[in-house]
């Protein structure tokens, strides 16, 4: 299913480290990816955000694929709502 046009140099969608499903691209943010003292010498680095449609885990891909606890929390709050999840 076509999503928003991918930004330049975006890698192909990675697989979910937890369940192996192909992750769904969400958006890309640009950050220095470095500590402040190093920022001037570091190139701006894009961070690609992904969601897993199978297990619902949020990921971010910078230098490596890592869990995204912030978006995970937002997602859980948004999907929790009034009806409690039954798979906990």
Count CB atoms within 10 A of the CB of residue 60: 19
Write down the least CB distance from residue 57 to Zn ion, Å: 5
Which residue in this structure is represented by tokens 């190093």?
38
Given candidates 30, 55, 70, 73, which one binds Zn ion under the rule CB under 5 A?
Answer: 55
Q: How far is the CB of 10 from Zn ion (least distance, A)?
A: 20
**For residue 22, what is the DSSP state?**
B
- The least distance separating Zn ion from the CB of residue 17, rounded to whole angstroms, comes to 8
Give the pair of three-digit tokens for residue 72: 């995970």
- Among 10, 11, 15, 19, the residue binding Zn ion under the rule CB under 5 A is 19
* For Zn ion, the closer CB: 28 or 54: 54
Q: Are 59 and 23 in contact (CB under 8 A)?
A: yes
């Amino acid at each position: 299913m076509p999503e928003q046009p991918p930004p330049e140099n975006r890698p192909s969608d990675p697989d979910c480290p937890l369940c192996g499903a192909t992750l769904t691209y969400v958006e890309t943010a640009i950050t220095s990816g470095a500590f402040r003292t190093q920022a001037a010498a570091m190139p701006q680095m894009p961070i690609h955000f992904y969601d897993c449609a199978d297990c619902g885990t949020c990921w971010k891909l910078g230098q490596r694929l890592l869990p995204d606890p912030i978006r995970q929390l937002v997602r859980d709050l948004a999907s929790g709502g009034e009806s409690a999840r039954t798979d906990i």
